[in-house]
Structure 1
């Protein structure tokens, strides 16, 4: 058992981006279960804190300015706890705003990490996936803030007049970032449409600049026959 734990710790230190990516993908599968009950929503909050902690860990491993990430994460967690305990949804919007900023900052840190040299390591490949999910989460939180500040920002084929759930916002975020456009959720107000256009631009640029560069460097490393 101690040897297995030691191996996990060594792997985690070598590939922090892989653990962040794994936890976020697990979140995609768990969020539908956690949204419907009070206990599930409490677990949702705890899971969010875990993702924030992993994001901080990734930033601490990079060359980014650590205090910026901490100054976003700590008040975000505090506001989330206050909003949940005292039923203050207005504070929850500010918590989501800080979380969105933290995920954007972490994604930027990982992009800088991937672009800092001309070598492609396994951790950089994991970082490419983790950066994509970080951007998806960041825009989903931005959408959440938008619909809280501007009610009716988004509509959908089901319950058109109701606020969109977190899973719906994350779904449209992944759809926009990947460029597949497979979503029944539509931005209605100008503020929401502006955020949607920014995410579409970010998704295209991420594929064009970061992913294509990693692919090109990987091809250059392959031995020629």
Structure 2
């Protein structure tokens, strides 16, 4: 059993970026579907918890150095999903903020990993995509927190949003991150507008820098192969 567990952990460590990418895509794609279910909010929060858990998967040598971070993430997930003051699986604003901070740390780690190689491969490419998706998903959680703590920060059709759901927050986050600007949800308070500007600028700069990085790596690789 210990050998099988060790092999399973090694497999997960090698494919951690693939697993994280699958969870992030599933979270964004299934969000609207889960929102229509009676227990959809609980299931979506469980998906977010699993996504955070996937960010802690790393090779054995890195896991030893980051043990404190792993323990912190597991405690945050457990507290967020435990039925303390709210029903099972329903997270409060403070938990969402903590989860978002963890996601940003994980995004920075994924970004650092993606630029650590001189060659382009699937794992490093997925790491770059995961950093982008992590920011989009968990900034969506922060939009929900903002609307809950300061109602009227966002308007939909010119009217306050009575009960902004997490799928709504993720939707608005990616619309802002990609600068689509549909206009169906609008930030109106100074803090909300400031966060929207930050997210839009970050999204454009990230894509520009990452594309430039990938192109430069590809050119360098072709140059090395030609020599």
What is the CA-CA distance between 1:105 and the residue it aligns to?
0.4
Work out the CA distance in 2 between the residues paired with 1:151 and 1:66: 38
Distance 1:10 1:182, change over 3 A: farther
Q: Specify whether residues 106 and 142 from structure 1 end up closer, same or farther in structure 2 by C-alpha distance, changes over 3 A only.
A: same
Deviation at 1:161, TM superposition (A): 3.7
Structure 1 unmatched runs, 5+: 1-6
SS at match of 2:140: helix
| Counterpart-to-counterpart distance in 1, 2:133 and 2:58 | 14
> Is 1:101 the counterpart of 2:101 in the alignment?
yes
Counting matched residue pairs gives: 218
Aligned CA-pair RMSD:
3.2
How far 1:117 sits from its partner (Å)? 3.7
C-alpha deviations, 1:180-210, integer Å up to 9, x for none? 3335211111121121122112212211223
Does structure 1 conserve the Cα–Cα contact (< 8 Å) formed by 2:73 and 2:102?
yes
Match of 1:84 in 2: 86
1:108 partner SS: helix
Instruction: Indicate conservation of the 8 Å contact 1:152/1:163, yes or no.
Output: no
Alignment of 1:107-186 (within 5 A): 107-157=107-157, 160-186=160-186
How far, CA to CA, are the matches of 1:84 and 1:100 in structure 2? 19
Q: Is the 8 A contact 1:176 1:199 kept in 2?
A: yes
Superposed displacement of residue 61, structure 1: 8.0
SS at 2:155's partner residue? strand
Deviations 1:117-176 (A, max 9, x none): 423222001111111110101211221221121111111128644232211211121122
Whether the 8 Å contact between 2:138 and 2:170 is mirrored in structure 1 is: no
Contact kept? 1:21, 1:126, Cα under 8 Å: yes
Unmatched runs of 5 consecutive residues or more in structure 2: 1-6
**Other-structure match for 1:22:** 22
Which whole-Å CA distance do the structure 2 matches of 1:60 and 1:187 have between them? 44
Tell me the TM-score normalised to structure 2 length: 0.81
Checking the alignment, whether the CA contact within 8 Å between 1:140 and 1:173 is kept in structure 2 is yes
Cα deviation for residue 213 of structure 1 reads: 0.4
Matches within 5 A, 1:191-210: 191-210=191-210
Q: 2 CA distance for matches of 1:163 and 1:123?
A: 38
CA distance in 2, matches of 1:184, 1:56: 36
TM-score (norm 1): 0.81
